[in-house]
Structure 1
Amino acid sequence: MKQIKFKNIKCFRLVILIFLILLVACNSPKDNIKDSYNQNKTTAPFSKKGILLRKGETNLLLINNKTPLKSDDSLKTHLLIEKYKNDLIVMDLTKVDSKEQAHCQTIEVWFDELQESFPPKAKVEKYKIMMDK
């Protein structure tokens, strides 16, 4: 009779332990849950400074304190991306009025969302033209 009570107590403790583990796992923050639709996006507002490389419809931000060469002006967009692939962000400027931006101008841009592609892509929410020193 004593052995049956002991087994029941062990079983009860095991059930309680499993329940607590499941409770803690279900209480994890929403940010840790992966959404298959947005798994390649990071959603944290941030800013980056860099040099605007404007080539037609494709806007590129050269980051990491890189400066384009004068000969880069003649390169096609895909060659610029290949040359600076580790130091570029491809920008979508449809949400901002980008008429006053000029090629090779230093700017700071703010993103709400960054697609972690290669090179990364982002929709710019706002920008600020930096005064060259």
Structure 2
Amino acid sequence: MIQLKFKKIKCFRLVILIFLILLVACNSPKGNIKNSYNQNKTTAPFSKKGILLCKEETSLLLINNKTPLKSDDSLNTNLLIDKYKDDLIIIDLTKVDSKELSQGQTIEIWFDELQESFPPKATVEKYKIIMDKNK
């Protein structure tokens, strides 16, 4: 009887020891785990190309190779969203210097996250002007 209790205690201690080893292994410092996403990020992982329809703090990027009509220049933001809602991304330009951007330019934007709204929204991390209609 005493020998059986002793074996149960040994087994219980062994289970606890294994559990603690696994717990410590799971909580190892993240520096030991190589993760390319966490390494010095120089560019945001996602990009989209399109035509800048409206330039404000919150702007509109027309995507999917759509070209706006000349008459669209006079439409306000809400009408543009209604007209192109399936081919539009609402972009937040507060994180970048957007002084050189103007309506009608073809640009490529990079962003970390595309919010699943209708139309989708993204905060621009960087951009590149591909074609300037004013030049």
Cα gap change, 1:101 to 1:132, in 2 (>3 Å): closer
TM-score, with structure 1 as normaliser: 0.64
Q: TM-score, normalised by structure 2?
A: 0.63
Distance 1:81 1:62 in 2: 10
CA apart distance, 1:131: 3.1
Deviations 1:27-61 (A, max 9, x none): xxxxxxxxxxxxxxxxx821000000125443000
Note the C-alpha offset of 1:76.
1.1
Structure 1 regions of 5+ residues with no counterpart?
1-43
What residue number does 2:68 align with? Answer: 68
Residue number in structure 2 paired with 1:30:
none
TM-superposition CA deviations, 1:6-33 (whole Å, max 9, x none): xxxxxxxxxxxxxxxxxxxxxxxxxxxx
Identity of aligned residues (%): 82
* 1:93 Cα offset (Å): 0.4
Structure 2: runs of 5+ lacking an equivalent = 1-43
Separation in structure 2 between the aligned mates of residue 70 and residue 58 of structure 1, nearest angstrom: 21
Rg larger in structure: 2
Is contact 1:55-1:77 (8 Å) kept? no
Give the letter for the 1:81 counterpart: I
- Residue 102 of structure 1, CA deviation: 1.0
Displacement of 1:83 = 0.3
Equivalence for 1:36: none
